[in-house]
Structure 1
Amino acid sequence: MKESHGFTRHGEELFVAQFSDSEKEVLINLSQQIIELLAERVDHNDQDPLAAMVGITFHDSPPDDEVLLRLLPNAYADGVDASEFRRYTESVLRTKKQAHAMSIRTMLMSSEDGSIELNHDLANAWLGGINDIRLALGVRLNVEKNTHEELELLAPDDPMRGVYGVYSWLGWLQGNLLQALMDGLES
């Protein structure tokens, strides 16, 4: 899956990458899945317009879905504190995570040749979006410390090898973008 050379810094505020058609397709598809997953728990704020305006939700319990729980974890061990914090932050966090995934999806869909240029803010959004995709995929794959050992035991034609390959590629891409962002800090 490593067709891309990753992100490179161009100047002070520009990060450039070139993606193959298959890489674009994977990132677009996974970004769309994150967008849809984060939109599933709809809040009915119509009862309190002020709460809707400032992002307070009526949901105070953690999501049932394991992936959503990983993306939107409890902030406190205490159940009461965690519930109260979730009411005030979950809506904003969902929106932010959707925006990150949407930026990946939109930029790749509008790029005919797979090349993208990101300013510093978009690079940070992509970093968050790639992280969320990787976290979600890691939960679905049940990635643990010994997962690499299990991957080596899979038959070469096992379809799960490809899924783990995507997971590994996302980790490489995330690290590569992070390195490009940090390259400017070494002055």
Structure 2
Amino acid sequence: MRKWKRVDGPGGPRFRSALAPHEAELLSSLVTSILGMLDDREASAPLDELAEITGMRTGNSVPPQDDTMKRLLPDFYRPATQHPAGSAAAESLNSALRSLHEPEILDAKREAAQRVLDTVPAGGGRFELSEDEAQAWVAAVNDVRLALGTMLQIGPDGPDRLPSEHPLAGHLDVYQWLTVLQEYLVVSLMGTQR
């Protein structure tokens, strides 16, 4: 992957880069996997008769059971201290907030992922993004990184490297490549050079 180049013009900034064929294929595959996970989560939401009548969509009120989806759709509220009455109030608040907002969050994540799939160059090569498309790339790549990071159990302290014979060594390389891709794009969006 080449670094991102920001080109400011009368229609707003454009962001240019290039992907090797294997990079374009890998990114498309990873983003497609995230789309599938988001679709599965939405399909698991219970049918809400009130939503059918009012048109107001609601989603799952319970958090995902899968660690990756928990990372992509975390709780809305985490109490700073233990409440004397227990955790029921926080769970109730999270349940209500999740039910109300999860459909919109899933839509936004899905839209960002689809924009990546629509703009990644098939077979690799040079490409150019609008500012909105670049923002979608940042969001979708972040979701892929969160999913891979959960699988690799990456925390604040790494790991930075795995032995080459480790079964997840290639996954860590992909995670680090996505980190660089995202970081350089964010720097370009901010209008600064590294």
Same fold (TM over 0.5): yes
Report the CA distance between 1:30 and its aligned residue. 0.4
2:56 to 54, 57, 63: 54
Structure 1 Cα separation of the partners of residues 28 and 102 of structure 2? 24
Structure 1 Cα separation of the partners of residues 98 and 37 of structure 2? 17
Give the stretch that moved more between structures: 111-120 or 174-183: 111-120
Q: Does 1:161 align with 2:164?
A: no
Which protein is bigger by CA-based radius of gyration? 2
Q: Which residue of 2 aligns with 1:18?
A: 18
Q: Which residue of 1 aligns with 2:117?
A: 105
Q: Which residue of 1 aligns with 2:189?
A: 181
Q: Which residue of 1 aligns with 2:74?
A: 73
Q: The residue matched to 1:148 in structure 2 has which SS?
A: coil
Kindly tell me: are residues 61 and 46 of structure 1, through their superposed partners in 2, closer, same or farther at Cα, counting changes over 3 Å? closer
Equivalent pairs, count? 176
Flag the structure with higher helix content: 1
Q: The residue matched to 1:14 in structure 2 has which SS?
A: strand
The gaps in structure 2 that reach 5 residues or longer are 79-89
CA RMSD of the aligned region, Å? 2.0
Identity %: 28
Q: Which residue of 2 aligns with 1:135?
A: 146
Q: Which residue of 2 aligns with 1:36?
A: 36
Letter in 2 for 1:62: P
Letter in 2 for 1:49: E
Q: The residue matched to 1:13 in structure 2 has which SS?
A: strand
Q: The residue matched to 1:62 in structure 2 has which SS?
A: coil
Report the CA distance between 1:15 and its aligned residue. 0.6
Kindly tell me: are residues 55 and 46 of structure 1, through their superposed partners in 2, closer, same or farther at Cα, counting changes over 3 Å? closer
Report the CA distance between 1:49 and its aligned residue. 1.6
2:5 to 4, 8, 24: 8
Q: The residue matched to 1:143 in structure 2 has which SS?
A: coil
Report the CA distance between 1:54 and its aligned residue. 3.1
